[in-house]
Chains A and B, each alone.
Chain A
Amino acid sequence: MKLLKNVGRLEIKSLGITLTQDSKSSDVERALKHEPTISKFIEQTKINKNDKKEK
Protein backbone atom coordinates (compact mmCIF):
# COMPACT_ATOMS: atom_id res chain seq x y z
CA MET A 1 0.00 0.00 0.00
CA LYS A 2 1.28 3.45 -0.86
CA LEU A 3 1.27 6.14 1.77
CA LEU A 4 2.63 9.04 -0.28
CA LYS A 5 1.83 10.04 -3.82
CA ASN A 6 4.09 11.89 -6.26
CA VAL A 7 6.90 12.11 -3.71
CA GLY A 8 9.29 9.58 -2.26
CA ARG A 9 9.84 11.43 0.99
CA LEU A 10 8.26 14.44 2.64
CA GLU A 11 10.19 16.42 5.21
CA ILE A 12 8.17 18.68 7.50
CA LYS A 13 10.98 20.57 9.08
CA SER A 14 9.01 22.45 11.71
CA LEU A 15 7.72 19.16 13.12
CA GLY A 16 10.96 17.31 12.70
CA ILE A 17 9.06 14.59 10.84
CA THR A 18 10.04 12.94 7.60
CA LEU A 19 7.23 10.92 6.07
CA THR A 20 8.10 7.96 3.89
CA GLN A 21 6.09 5.13 2.42
CA ASP A 22 6.78 3.26 5.66
CA SER A 23 5.74 5.96 8.12
CA LYS A 24 3.34 5.23 10.95
CA SER A 25 -0.20 6.50 10.61
CA SER A 26 0.19 8.47 13.86
CA ASP A 27 3.01 10.46 12.25
CA VAL A 28 0.93 11.05 9.13
CA GLU A 29 -2.01 12.26 11.18
CA ARG A 30 0.21 14.53 13.27
CA ALA A 31 1.75 15.96 10.11
CA LEU A 32 -1.65 16.51 8.49
CA LYS A 33 -2.95 18.24 11.59
CA HIS A 34 0.04 20.57 11.66
CA GLU A 35 0.29 21.11 7.89
CA PRO A 36 -3.06 20.43 6.18
CA THR A 37 -1.52 21.57 2.89
CA ILE A 38 0.39 18.29 2.63
CA SER A 39 -2.85 16.36 2.07
CA LYS A 40 -2.15 16.49 -1.68
CA PHE A 41 0.87 14.27 -1.07
CA ILE A 42 -0.94 11.74 1.11
CA GLU A 43 -2.41 8.71 -0.60
CA GLN A 44 -3.86 7.25 2.58
CA THR A 45 -3.34 7.61 6.31
CA LYS A 46 -3.45 3.95 7.35
CA ILE A 47 -0.57 1.55 6.90
CA ASN A 48 -1.59 -1.51 8.90
CA LYS A 49 1.80 -3.20 8.76
CA ASN A 50 3.56 -0.32 10.47
CA ASP A 51 0.74 0.45 12.85
CA LYS A 52 1.22 -3.02 14.28
CA LYS A 53 4.89 -2.31 14.82
CA GLU A 54 3.92 0.79 16.76
CA LYS A 55 2.13 -1.21 19.51
Chain B
Amino acid sequence: MNKEYIKVPKGITKHFKASACGGIDVGAGYDCANPIVAGVDQRLILIDKSVFDRAIVTYDVALETLITDILLSGVGDAGFAFEGIRRSLNPQSAFVPATVTVGYDHQVTFQIFEISQIQKDNIEKLGLSKVVAIVQNVNAAGNEDSVFEVFGKDVGLEMQAGAMRINTDIETNSSYTIDLKTSDESGKEPKLPTSWFDTDFATTLAKVDALLVPIP
Protein backbone atom coordinates (compact mmCIF):
# COMPACT_ATOMS: atom_id res chain seq x y z
CA MET B 1 0.00 0.00 0.00
CA ASN B 2 1.31 3.44 -0.90
CA LYS B 3 1.46 5.45 2.33
CA GLU B 4 2.71 8.97 2.86
CA TYR B 5 3.63 10.41 6.23
CA ILE B 6 4.12 14.01 7.25
CA LYS B 7 5.38 15.52 10.49
CA VAL B 8 2.92 18.00 11.92
CA PRO B 9 4.19 20.83 14.18
CA LYS B 10 3.65 19.02 17.45
CA GLY B 11 5.75 16.14 16.30
CA ILE B 12 2.82 13.83 15.73
CA THR B 13 3.07 11.56 12.74
CA LYS B 14 -0.12 11.75 10.71
CA HIS B 15 -1.15 9.33 8.00
CA PHE B 16 -2.63 10.60 4.76
CA LYS B 17 -4.40 8.44 2.24
CA ALA B 18 -2.88 8.00 -1.20
CA SER B 19 -5.60 10.21 -2.70
CA ALA B 20 -8.74 12.01 -1.57
CA CYS B 21 -11.56 9.55 -0.79
CA GLY B 22 -9.07 6.67 -1.05
CA GLY B 23 -7.70 5.00 -4.13
CA ILE B 24 -9.41 2.40 -6.26
CA ASP B 25 -10.16 -0.80 -4.39
CA VAL B 26 -11.41 -3.25 -7.00
CA GLY B 27 -10.46 -4.38 -10.48
CA ALA B 28 -12.70 -5.36 -13.39
CA GLY B 29 -13.01 -8.40 -15.59
CA TYR B 30 -14.97 -9.48 -18.63
CA ASP B 31 -17.75 -11.95 -17.96
CA CYS B 32 -17.77 -14.17 -21.05
CA ALA B 33 -20.95 -15.95 -19.93
CA ASN B 34 -22.83 -12.74 -19.11
CA PRO B 35 -21.28 -9.86 -21.03
CA ILE B 36 -22.36 -6.26 -20.56
CA VAL B 37 -25.05 -5.30 -23.08
CA ALA B 38 -25.43 -1.85 -24.67
CA GLY B 39 -28.75 -0.17 -25.26
CA VAL B 40 -31.68 1.25 -23.34
CA ASP B 41 -35.38 0.66 -23.03
CA GLN B 42 -37.11 3.47 -24.89
CA ARG B 43 -39.07 4.69 -21.89
CA LEU B 44 -37.63 7.72 -20.11
CA ILE B 45 -39.01 8.85 -16.77
CA LEU B 46 -38.54 12.48 -15.82
CA ILE B 47 -39.12 13.90 -12.37
CA ASP B 48 -39.06 17.61 -11.70
CA LYS B 49 -35.99 18.36 -9.59
CA SER B 50 -38.10 20.21 -7.02
CA VAL B 51 -40.26 17.09 -6.67
CA PHE B 52 -37.21 14.85 -6.40
CA ASP B 53 -35.80 17.14 -3.74
CA ARG B 54 -38.82 16.38 -1.58
CA ALA B 55 -38.30 12.63 -1.96
CA ILE B 56 -36.85 10.10 0.42
CA VAL B 57 -34.04 8.13 -1.17
CA THR B 58 -32.89 4.87 0.40
CA TYR B 59 -29.59 3.13 -0.19
CA ASP B 60 -28.45 -0.47 0.07
CA VAL B 61 -27.24 -1.91 3.36
CA ALA B 62 -24.10 -3.47 1.93
CA LEU B 63 -23.39 -0.89 -0.79
CA GLU B 64 -24.34 2.54 0.49
CA THR B 65 -24.00 4.23 -2.90
CA LEU B 66 -26.62 1.98 -4.54
CA ILE B 67 -30.15 3.40 -4.53
CA THR B 68 -32.78 0.92 -3.39
CA ASP B 69 -35.82 3.18 -3.58
CA ILE B 70 -37.02 6.68 -4.38
CA LEU B 71 -40.14 7.55 -2.43
CA LEU B 72 -41.87 10.71 -3.57
CA SER B 73 -43.49 12.36 -0.61
CA GLY B 74 -45.43 15.49 -1.61
CA VAL B 75 -49.13 15.34 -2.41
CA GLY B 76 -49.54 15.03 -6.18
CA ASP B 77 -45.83 14.36 -6.73
CA ALA B 78 -45.12 12.02 -9.63
CA GLY B 79 -42.76 11.26 -12.45
CA PHE B 80 -43.72 11.32 -16.13
CA ALA B 81 -42.90 8.77 -18.78
CA PHE B 82 -41.78 9.78 -22.27
CA GLU B 83 -42.08 6.91 -24.69
CA GLY B 84 -39.65 6.52 -27.56
CA ILE B 85 -39.02 4.05 -30.35
CA ARG B 86 -35.95 2.33 -31.79
CA ARG B 87 -33.00 4.48 -30.66
CA SER B 88 -34.74 7.76 -29.96
CA LEU B 89 -33.46 7.83 -26.36
CA ASN B 90 -29.73 8.33 -25.85
CA PRO B 91 -28.33 8.75 -22.33
CA GLN B 92 -24.64 9.30 -21.70
CA SER B 93 -22.22 10.57 -19.08
CA ALA B 94 -18.82 12.24 -19.25
CA PHE B 95 -15.92 12.99 -16.91
CA VAL B 96 -15.29 16.72 -16.47
CA PRO B 97 -12.01 17.43 -14.71
CA ALA B 98 -11.32 21.00 -13.59
CA THR B 99 -8.20 22.56 -12.12
CA VAL B 100 -8.99 21.80 -8.51
CA THR B 101 -11.85 19.34 -8.61
CA VAL B 102 -13.73 16.89 -10.81
CA GLY B 103 -17.33 16.34 -11.83
CA TYR B 104 -19.52 14.58 -14.35
CA ASP B 105 -21.87 15.65 -17.10
CA HIS B 106 -25.08 13.65 -17.31
CA GLN B 107 -26.96 13.91 -20.57
CA VAL B 108 -30.19 12.47 -21.94
CA THR B 109 -31.28 13.17 -25.50
CA PHE B 110 -34.70 11.98 -26.62
CA GLN B 111 -37.61 12.63 -28.96
CA ILE B 112 -41.10 13.75 -28.08
CA PHE B 113 -43.48 12.34 -30.66
CA GLU B 114 -46.29 14.75 -29.97
CA ILE B 115 -46.78 18.22 -31.38
CA SER B 116 -50.05 19.12 -29.67
CA GLN B 117 -50.35 22.47 -27.98
CA ILE B 118 -50.51 20.72 -24.61
CA GLN B 119 -47.17 19.07 -25.34
CA LYS B 120 -45.68 22.36 -26.54
CA ASP B 121 -46.73 23.93 -23.24
CA ASN B 122 -45.09 20.98 -21.48
CA ILE B 123 -41.85 21.38 -23.44
CA GLU B 124 -41.75 25.07 -22.63
CA LYS B 125 -42.09 24.21 -18.94
CA LEU B 126 -39.29 21.68 -19.36
CA GLY B 127 -37.14 24.49 -20.73
CA LEU B 128 -37.66 26.44 -17.52
CA SER B 129 -37.08 23.50 -15.20
CA LYS B 130 -34.47 21.15 -13.87
CA VAL B 131 -35.28 17.46 -13.96
CA VAL B 132 -33.98 14.10 -12.79
CA ALA B 133 -34.12 11.24 -15.30
CA ILE B 134 -34.60 7.51 -14.76
CA VAL B 135 -33.15 5.41 -17.55
CA GLN B 136 -33.59 1.66 -18.05
CA ASN B 137 -30.68 -0.18 -19.59
CA VAL B 138 -31.06 -3.56 -21.25
CA ASN B 139 -32.19 -6.12 -18.67
CA ALA B 140 -29.29 -8.53 -19.09
CA ALA B 141 -27.35 -10.44 -16.44
CA GLY B 142 -24.17 -8.70 -17.54
CA ASN B 143 -25.61 -5.33 -16.60
CA GLU B 144 -25.80 -6.56 -13.00
CA ASP B 145 -27.33 -4.05 -10.56
CA SER B 146 -27.33 -1.24 -13.09
CA VAL B 147 -30.36 -1.90 -15.27
CA PHE B 148 -31.90 1.28 -13.86
CA GLU B 149 -29.86 4.45 -13.54
CA VAL B 150 -30.67 7.88 -12.12
CA PHE B 151 -29.31 10.85 -14.06
CA GLY B 152 -29.06 14.35 -12.59
CA LYS B 153 -29.75 13.28 -9.02
CA ASP B 154 -27.71 16.02 -7.37
CA VAL B 155 -27.58 18.99 -9.73
CA GLY B 156 -30.40 18.23 -12.16
CA LEU B 157 -30.58 18.27 -15.95
CA GLU B 158 -31.42 21.36 -17.99
CA MET B 159 -32.64 21.68 -21.55
CA GLN B 160 -29.81 22.69 -23.88
CA ALA B 161 -29.70 25.05 -26.83
CA GLY B 162 -30.22 23.61 -30.29
CA ALA B 163 -32.70 22.81 -33.01
CA MET B 164 -35.77 21.20 -31.52
CA ARG B 165 -38.03 20.38 -34.42
CA ILE B 166 -37.58 20.42 -38.15
CA ASN B 167 -41.08 20.16 -39.56
CA THR B 168 -40.02 18.30 -42.70
CA ASP B 169 -37.34 16.05 -41.20
CA ILE B 170 -37.84 12.42 -42.16
CA GLU B 171 -35.20 11.03 -39.77
CA THR B 172 -37.02 12.33 -36.68
CA ASN B 173 -40.47 12.20 -38.24
CA SER B 174 -40.62 15.90 -37.35
CA SER B 175 -40.75 15.09 -33.65
CA TYR B 176 -39.24 17.33 -30.99
CA THR B 177 -35.60 16.67 -30.10
CA ILE B 178 -34.93 17.34 -26.42
CA ASP B 179 -31.40 17.53 -25.08
CA LEU B 180 -31.19 17.49 -21.28
CA LYS B 181 -27.76 17.90 -19.73
CA THR B 182 -25.87 19.03 -16.67
CA SER B 183 -25.48 22.76 -17.13
CA ASP B 184 -22.11 24.18 -18.20
CA GLU B 185 -22.88 27.33 -16.22
CA SER B 186 -23.25 25.79 -12.76
CA GLY B 187 -21.87 22.91 -10.74
CA LYS B 188 -21.33 19.50 -12.26
CA GLU B 189 -22.77 16.26 -10.95
CA PRO B 190 -20.41 14.94 -8.27
CA LYS B 191 -20.97 11.30 -9.22
CA LEU B 192 -21.71 9.11 -12.22
CA PRO B 193 -25.38 8.26 -12.83
CA THR B 194 -26.44 6.23 -9.79
CA SER B 195 -27.64 2.65 -10.12
CA TRP B 196 -31.05 1.77 -8.68
CA PHE B 197 -31.55 -1.86 -7.70
CA ASP B 198 -33.48 -3.74 -5.05
CA THR B 199 -33.57 -7.54 -4.82
CA ASP B 200 -34.21 -8.27 -8.52
CA PHE B 201 -35.37 -6.71 -11.78
CA ALA B 202 -39.09 -7.19 -11.11
CA THR B 203 -38.94 -5.61 -7.66
CA THR B 204 -36.95 -2.65 -8.94
CA LEU B 205 -39.21 -2.19 -11.96
CA ALA B 206 -42.26 -2.10 -9.68
CA LYS B 207 -40.63 0.64 -7.63
CA VAL B 208 -39.72 2.61 -10.75
CA ASP B 209 -43.27 2.25 -12.09
CA ALA B 210 -44.61 3.51 -8.76
CA LEU B 211 -43.03 6.88 -9.53
CA LEU B 212 -45.67 7.38 -12.21
CA VAL B 213 -48.56 7.21 -9.74
CA PRO B 214 -49.23 10.60 -8.15
CA ILE B 215 -48.93 10.63 -4.37
CA PRO B 216 -52.47 10.92 -2.91
Contact = CB atoms under 8 A, between A and B. Distances in A.
B57 to A, nearest CB: 4
A6 B61 contact: yes
Q: Tell me what chain B mostly uses at the interface: helix, strand, loop, or mixed.
A: loop
Interface string B31-72: 000000000000000000000111111111111100010010
Contact of A8 (B52, B59, B73): B59
Interface string B60-90: 1111100010010100000000000000000
B56 A35 contact: yes
Contacts of A8: 59-64
Contact of A7 (B55, B60, B73): B60
Contacts of A6: 58, 61
Contacts, number: 42
Interface residues of A, number: 14
B64 A9 contact: yes
A20 B62 CA distance: 12
Contacts of B54: 13-14
Contacts of A12: 56
Interface string A4-37: 0011111111100000100000000000000101
B59 A11 contact: yes
B55 A10 contact: no
- Residue of A6, A8, A10, A38 contacting most chain B CB atoms (<10 Å): A8
A37 B56 contact: yes
Contacts of B68: 7
B61 A14 contact: no
Nearest to B74: A14
Contacts of B64: 8-9, 20
B73 A37 contact: yes
B10 to A, nearest CB: 23
